[in-house]
Each structure stands twice: as structure tokens, then as C-alpha cells.
Amino acid sequence: MRTFAAIIMMLCVLEVSAQNEVLIKVQHQPRKEYRQTNIQTMDGEMNMMGDKAMMDNLAASGMTMPIQIIGSTEIEMTIKTSKMKKGRIPATMTYDKMKIQMQMMGANQDVDSPIEGAVITGWYDTDGKFTVESAAGMGESFSKEDLMNVINQVQQSTEFPDKPLKVGDTFTQKVPMNVPLASMGALSIFSESVYTVNEIKDGKAMMSVDMKIFMDNNSAMAASVIGEGTGMCIYDISNTFLTDLDMKLDYRISMEIQGMTMVMNMTGTTRQTTKIR
């Protein structure tokens, strides 16, 4: 009886100990299915400023300031992995849905999705990084190289410390991003996120996130970007995956365009969930 009690006590101690720290390593596992939903929204206004003649021309065209901007993007995708081969995990990534909506000055503008219905094959390496092997079903305006650039940007944001973290520990990620602006080129910005481990419980680690975004000082564009936001994410320990992400971000973009100044004050949200089976 004493031996049995000692075993029970030891198991309880091990269970408590296991909840004290977590090694966060985001990695897909073989023979799994990941169903992910990502919903992003934006809401705010844009102002154009210039001399009297420029402003009179805008008014004559029927444009009044500020211009209200509302937008949303909803993406549903499925990733299926198979048996590991030669240190790689083969995977098929399907974009089941991609709906983009914009509203400016009260007018709805649905945007065609370049990758809805696309099927991407490739593999994950031992570091959890995905390499594209083939891509079918994408729009003509979106190439395999464009897709790889997007995937690489996302993968850069999932780098975590290589040591176990305890409740209260923090770490910082600084991720470069290129935001395309049609024929004007792209904004080169950085996001800097500070993660704090708030709780480790029931096989999951809950973390709060404080984010800031800012312009690359070396950018050649006459623009400025600044923003900050907060949110939370959940790491599933047994599945080695971030299953939930909630973020809210307030940001301001200022840019010189053809002798005028454009200023956008926006609020954006991101809600991402992943179901694994």
C-alpha cells in the first residue's frame, strides 16, 4: 500500500512539474490533418491633403473626406501530412476558401482571390519549414515564387526560443514584411512582437502578445508606418502547434502621392484557429 501511494505521489509530482515549463516548437506532425480558418478585418478612414487646387479637383470628382474603408479577408485551408520519408514530412496544402471584401465610400468591392482552389504540394523539414514542390490552380497574377514569399513570411513569424519557458518568461520576435502597393512598389516594414507565457495548463500554453509595427528606416519610399496592438495565442503541447491566435492592431500609414499626402488611420483584427485530427 505504501509503495502504491508513493507511485501515485510521484506521478502527481511529475504532472505538476510538466506544467511548469514548455518548449515551444511549432511543427507539423506526420499523418495529420490541419483545418485552419483565418479571418482578418480592417476598419478606418483615409484622408487626402494637398493645396487648394488639388482639393477642389477631388471635390469636383465627388470625393469627400474622410473616405471610410472597411475590409475583410476570410481564408480556409486544409493541410494533410503523410508518413515521414528521408527526414521529410510530405504534405498537401489546399486553399478551400479565400474571400476578400472591401468597402470604400459606401461601395462594395469584392476582390477576386488569386489562390482559392489552389493545391500546393511539398514537404516540411526537421525545423518545421515548408518547401513548395508544385502549385496548381492559382490565378495568373500569382506565381509559385509569390506563394513561396508569402509562406516564408509566415514561417519567419513562428520562430521560438530553443529552451523551455516558464510562466512569466518573455521573448521577442522581429519579422520583416513587404506590403505591396500596386504600381507604387512595396512598403518595407517590421513587426516586433513580445510574447509572455501567462499560463501552462491542460497540455496548453497560453501567451499574451504585444506587437509594434514600424517602417524600415532604409526604405526609399516617402512614407511612414506606425502601429501597436495586443492579443493572445494558444500553443498545443502534444500537437506541437499554435492552434489559436487573436490580435487587434491600431496603425497609421502616411504617404506622399503625386504631390498630395495620404493618411490612413486603421484598426485591424486577426482571428486564426486550427483544428487537428
Domains of the chain: 23-276 (2.30.230)
Residue 8's pLDDT is 44
228 Cβ contact list (under 8 Å, min separation 6): 210, 211, 212, 213, 249, 250, 251
Q: Is the dihedral of CA 97, 147, 90, 34 positive or negative?
A: negative
The larger pLDDT score, comparing residue 32 to residue 160, is at 32
With CA atoms as reference, report the closest residue to 152 among 132, 136, 182, 173.
132
Per the prediction, the chain carries an average pLDDT of 84
Q: Phi and psi (nearest 5°) for 220? A: -85, -10
178 Cβ contact list (under 8 Å, min separation 6): 149, 153, 186, 187, 188, 189
C-alpha dist (Å) from residue 53 to 105, 240, 261:
22, 59, 14
With CA atoms as reference, report the closest residue to 245 among 258, 257, 254, 232.
232
Strands 107-111 and 89-104: antiparallel
Q: What's the burial of 60, exposed, middle or buried (CB within 10 Å: 0-12/13-18/19+)?
A: exposed
Residue 181's pLDDT is 57
pLDDT digits (tens, 9 = 90+) for 54-68: 888 888 988 888 999
Helix (H, G, I), strand (E, B) or coil at 202: coil
Residue 61's pLDDT is 86
Helix (H, G, I), strand (E, B) or coil at 139: coil
Q: Phi and psi (nearest 5°) for 4? A: -60, -45
pLDDT digits (tens, 9 = 90+) for 208-218: 999 999 886 65
With CA atoms as reference, report the closest residue to 80 among 138, 121, 108, 113.
121
Residue 23's pLDDT is 94
Read off the C-alpha cell for 118: 489552389
pLDDT digits (tens, 9 = 90+) for 219-245: 556 788 899 999 999 999 999 999 999
Length of the chain: 277
Gap between the terminal Cα atoms of the chain: 40
123-154 burial: b if 16+ Cβ within 10 Å, else e: bbeeebebebeebeebeeeeeeeebbeebeee
For residue 217, the 8-state DSSP code is T
| Contact in structure between 31 and 82 (CB atoms under 8 Å) | yes
